[in-house]
Amino acid sequence: MCGVVGLIGAPEAAREAFLALTTLQHRGQDAAGILTYEKSGFHRVKNLGLVDAVFSRENMSSLIGNLALGHARYSTVGKGDLVDVQPFMLSYPFGLGMVHNGNIINTAELSHELRTKSQRHLLTQSDTEIVLNLFAEGLAEVTKADGKLDFDRVCAAVSRVYAKTVGSYSIIAMIADHGIVAFRDPHGIRPLIWGKRTEKRADPGSPPTCLPTGESHIFASESVALSFLGYDEVRNVAPGEVVFIDLDGVVNTRVLSAREPRHCMFEWVYFSSPESVIDDVPVYGARIALGKSLANLVKPRIADGSIKPDVVVPVPETSRIAAIALAEEIGVPYRELLIKNRYIKRTFILDSQDKRESAVNLKLSPVRSEMAGKRVLLVDDSIVRGTTSKKIIELVRRAGAKAVYVVSTCPPIQHPCFYGIDFPNSKELIAFGRDTAAIEKELGADAIIYQDLPGIVNAVASGGQKPCMACLDGKYPTEVKSGREFGEARERDRGKAKAPS
């Protein structure tokens, strides 16, 4: 899971890419990078760390041009080294740059094929480099006769990616002296939205710094980036669709490989910003619906006396909206009694259990005066490994809570995710092979109440679509025969990342 942005025609493309990445920082905190292009060539700044730590006034001044790509990284492949930080570039054909959000499952197979059949030596562990090379091969093949590029040939190159790759991907690429390309996997698992803005000239007589049409365009992981920068939403890039905007501002679109949309339910449950609208479903509204659905499951437990909550407390911050809706529905006071240290990373996306465990105590401080003697109903967005939940329950008990009940806006996660949420091994998951009673015992909770599958579907689906809930029901939208190998590789990467140098 990462945050991506691409701009064409923006007078201050690098600055806008920086601001967009700032609004998408929640999607990745490991590293960030921006690549721009103008006639003199590519210009890139990238490094490990948060967006505002990577970029400075000095290095931003080198990022010239009105064509830009940006990336905020959450590492799900590799060791998190600088070499794996995006955007990536290739010099041939034309000169290419690329950013990617998602996971390619069959990376080992494709890496071997590129090395042995195409004699392409990969320089990183990133699946983005694999996609970039496939795209480059496709472009080279269709333009070798005359060196000319048009939309049909762009589509042929993207079709090569569709034919070879298995997994989730929302990709933005730039082609030097030609334009920007955006495309999305055939199931649309990862989000990608397109926006447009009419530009104003500072001096009516000056040459335009935008496209000849007087417009600029943006593609981004979430709509929050568009609204912050003043772009009007055009629409979501459709599953299996390619969009190509050239330097004259001519827009071409084509659906190449559409299948049943299977947008990832975790975008609404946890990952996306509450201000965003993901695939036409507002994140805020979805979380309100999740809270109301949970209330229907909590009320019978209150009625039969198995739980007696005195106060509803959200686990900051993603669960806050659902907790408010739940508290309103069950008539129990809502209180924010876990105070978050805003300078600590999101613990779920930290890359090791040790880091997650130590971060919890730094991240949250209980309001002891309000918890002592209370039966606390904790609302969390999800329970994945259980590491964070167990620590929070212990924290609340030490603050004097009389009882601790936990409700999760997400059903039990029992299967690996291979599409960009970082739990590719079932053995990591606390709900794998355990019933609710066993999970309660493992976490030390007096009760656990999970969202049900209909509650998820009703909250996040639009127009009868089926969200991807493979981590809940094991029904993967793609084949996952390479999944075990992918999971094992991720475990090796984590081990290497923790090993002393």
In order of 33, 50, 73, 90, the CA distances from 87 in angstroms are 6, 15, 10, 10
Give the count of alpha carbons within 13 A of 440, CB side only. Answer: 14
81 is written with which tokens?
């080294």
- Give kind and range of the element (H or E) at residue 174: strand 167-175
Cis peptide bond N-terminal to 500, omega within 30: no
Residues ≥6 apart with Cβ < 8 Å to 259: 186, 187, 239, 240, 477
**Sheet of 375-380, strands arranged across:** 311-314, 375-380, 403-408, 447-450
CB 171 within 8 A of CB 100: yes
Tokens of 130: 């694999």
Rounded to 5°, angle at Cα 439 from 421 and 316: 55
The two structure tokens encoding residue 83: 């070499």
Q: Strands 403-408 and 375-380: what pairing?
A: parallel
The residue length of the chain stands at 501
How many angstroms separate the CA atoms of 239 and 261, rounded? 6
Q: Which two tokens stand for residue 374?
A: 């209370």
**H or E stretch at 255:** strand 251-255
Catalytic residue among 2, 210, 410, 468: 2
Known catalytic residue at 2: yes
Q: Name the burial class of residue 123, with classes exposed (0-12), middle (13-18) and buried (19+) by CB atoms within 10 angstroms of its CB.
A: exposed
Cβ pair 230, 201 in contact under 8 A: no
Cis status of the peptide bond prior to 416, with omega within 30 of 0 = no
Q: How far apart are CA 161 and CA 143, in angstroms?
A: 16
Q: Give the residue among 111, 116, 112, 142 at the shortest CA–CA distance from 128.
A: 111
Q: What residues are annotated to the active site? A: 2
